[in-house]
């Protein structure tokens, strides 16, 4: 086991109707609320209306920032900071998926000193204060609701960058599975891939952590059990509730206690480059990269890979493991090749160039320029 440090201060409210506790929560932090959300799904599924009722009960003054896009961009984060600073808001309520909540995390640490969000993302300036962030999640995927990470794109620097800071834990996260009923089959599948990918990243981080390995086994097996059920019956509360809690647990720390870092993150870094170039949904990028990465690492870390194969599919054959993993992704209609998302061989060099430029790599399993080339050839 590696040394590790545990800190997770998020107050999680999980279940049907928990939004009823929002008014009381808001009142503990003040009156002025910056309400952030995305492109409009929240108005269709009723969550926006529920939140507005609670904000009215709390007698809050609401400043709305709508339009955070999937694969969020730094310019929107900057605009939300400006709105928050101008109106001296007391807190942020972020309603949506990972893109909205990640953007709100950066806004929350930039508002107090009017910091430049990209300088924060690149660790050029360190935030020292935050305004409270209350997250209301509508999509099971990222785990952002119970961690301190945010991922934002910057078109100017051609990066999709991750940043982690303890001030960015939401103070409260409201997780009502009913709000996830309306998530499309595509994004439901991408969320499932993402949560599995988070456990894999943890599994391949440095350090022996057998208990954490067992958490990973349980999360993935339960997710695979519920995946097809939820896709067949998207309005089934139990199915949505299980997937939602699995996604939270996949990246709230428990899969990495005993390891040196929360994950290797090599596959995510490759995936972020695809998302940056082609606006590929995050989960879709991961179902394409993981099989390729496992093939690349097959001879380098055979014992570790075969341990995962045994835990998940009770197989001693790498080919069988890869086949079963890809079959699962295909079954839920997540892509396993670039071709399936309309990216042809002619784009190979463009992808390799940006991977090289951004030095896309893992924290533990380092990736060279040659590896980038091999990975792209495996993804075609």
Angle at 207 between CA 205 and CA 211, to 5 degrees: 95
**Mapping DSSP to helix (H, G, I), strand (E, B) and coil, where does residue 191 land?**
helix
- Round to whole Å and give the CA distance between 304 and 364: 13
Is residue 241 involved in binding ligand NZQ (CB under 6 A)? no
Collect all residues with Cβ–Cβ distance below 8 Å to 347 and sequence separation of at least 6.
277, 338
Residues 257 to 286: which contact ligand NZQ by CB under 6 A? 268, 282
Choose among 181, 365, 166: nearest CA to 253. Answer: 166
Query: CB of 63 within 8 A of CB of 87?
Result: yes
Contact mark string toward ligand NZQ, 40..79, x via CB under 6 A: xxx--x------------------------xxx-------
Q: Rounded to the nearest whole angstrom, what is the least distance from the CB of residue 195 to ligand NZQ in the complex?
A: 9
Q: Rounded to the nearest whole angstrom, what is the least distance from the CB of residue 346 to ligand NZQ in the complex?
A: 26
- Round to whole Å and give the CA distance between 129 and 165: 11
- Round to whole Å and give the CA distance between 270 and 279: 13
Select from Zn ion, ligand NZQ, none the partner in contact with residue 263, using the beta carbon and a kind-dependent cut-off of 5 to 8 Å: none
Select from ligand NZQ, Zn ion, none the partner in contact with residue 40, using the beta carbon and a kind-dependent cut-off of 5 to 8 Å: ligand NZQ
Q: Rounded to the nearest whole angstrom, what is the least distance from the CB of residue 195 to Zn ion in the complex?
A: 8
Is residue 12 involved in binding ligand NZQ (CB under 6 A)? no
Residues 122 to 161: which contact ligand NZQ by CB under 6 A? 138-139, 141-144, 147, 149-151
Is residue 194 involved in binding Zn ion (CB under 5 A)? yes
* Nearer CB in complex with ligand NZQ: 138/255: 138
Residues 169 to 228: which contact ligand NZQ by CB under 6 A? 179-180, 182-183, 187, 191, 194
Task: Looking at 131-281, list the stretches that DSSP marks H as alpha helix, in order from N- to C-terminal side.
Answer: 185-203, 210-232, 237-250, 266-278
Residue nearest to Zn ion (CB): 194
- Round to whole Å and give the CA distance between 279 and 41: 19
* Nearer CB in complex with ligand NZQ: 313/364: 364
Is residue 94 involved in binding ligand NZQ (CB under 6 A)? no
- Round to whole Å and give the CA distance between 372 and 378: 10
Q: Which part of the chain contacts ligand NZQ (CB under 6 A), choosing from 90-98, 112-120, 202-210, 223-231?
A: 90-98
Residue 233 is encoded by which pair of tokens? 């019956």
Angle (deg, nearest 10), helices 266-278 and 348-357: 120
Is residue 38 involved in binding ligand NZQ (CB under 6 A)? yes
Query: CB of 79 within 8 A of CB of 65?
Result: yes
* Nearer CB in complex with ligand NZQ: 17/210: 17
* Phi, psi (rounded to 5 degrees) for 332: -90, 10
Q: Rounded to the nearest whole angstrom, what is the least distance from the CB of residue 134 to ligand NZQ in the complex?
A: 16
List contacts with Zn ion (CB under 5 A).
194
- List contacts with ligand NZQ (CB under 6 A): 38-42, 45, 70-72, 96-100, 102, 138-139, 141-144, 147, 149-151, 179-180, 182-183, 187, 191, 194, 251, 268, 282
């Amino acid at each position: 086991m590696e040394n590790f440090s545990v800190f997770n201060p998020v107050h999680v409210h999980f279940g049907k109707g928990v939004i009823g506790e929002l008014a009381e929560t808001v009142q503990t932090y003040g009156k002025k609320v910056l309400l952030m959300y995305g492109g409009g799904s929240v108005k269709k599924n009723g969550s926006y209306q529920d939140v507005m009722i609670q904000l009215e009960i709390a007698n809050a003054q609401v400043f709305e920032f709508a339009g955070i896009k999937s694969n969020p961009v730094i310019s929107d984060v900057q605009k939300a900071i400006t709105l928050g600073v101008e109106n001296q808001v007391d807190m942020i309520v972020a309603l949506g998926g990972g893109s909205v909540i990640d953007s709100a995390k950066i806004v929350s640490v930039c508002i107090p000193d009017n910091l430049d969000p990209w300088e924060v993302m690149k660790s050029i300036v360190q935030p020292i204060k935050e305004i409270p962030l209350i997250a209301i999640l509508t999509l099971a995927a990222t785990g952002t609701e119970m961690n301190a990470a945010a991922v934002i794109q910057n078109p100017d620097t051609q990066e999709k960058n991750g940043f982690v800071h303890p001030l960015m834990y939401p103070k409260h996260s409201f997780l009502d599975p009913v709000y996830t009923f309306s998530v499309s089959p595509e994004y439901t599948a991408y969320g499932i891939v993402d949560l599995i990918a988070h456990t894999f990243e943890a599994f391949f981080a440095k350090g022996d952590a057998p208990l954490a390995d067992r958490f990973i086994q349980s999360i993935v097996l339960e997710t695979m059990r519920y995946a097809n059920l939820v896709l067949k019956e998207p309005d089934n509360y139990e199915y949505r509730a299980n997937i939602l809690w699995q996604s939270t647990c996949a990246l709230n720390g428990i899969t990495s206690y005993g390891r040196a870092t929360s994950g290797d993150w090599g596959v995510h870094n490759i995936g972020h480059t695809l998302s940056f170039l082609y606006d590929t949904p995050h989960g879709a990028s991961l179902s394409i990269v993981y099989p390729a990465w496992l093939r690349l690492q097959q001879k380098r870390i055979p014992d570790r890979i075969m341990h995962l194969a045994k835990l998940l599919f009770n197989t001693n054959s790498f080919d069988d493991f890869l086949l079963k993993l890809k079959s699962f992704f295909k079954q839920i209609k997540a892509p396993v090749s670039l071709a399936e998302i309309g990216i042809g061989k002619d784009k190979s060099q463009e992808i390799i160039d940006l991977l090289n430029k951004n030095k896309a790599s893992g924290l533990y399993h380092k990736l060279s320029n040659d590896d980038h080339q091999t990975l792209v050839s495996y993804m075609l």
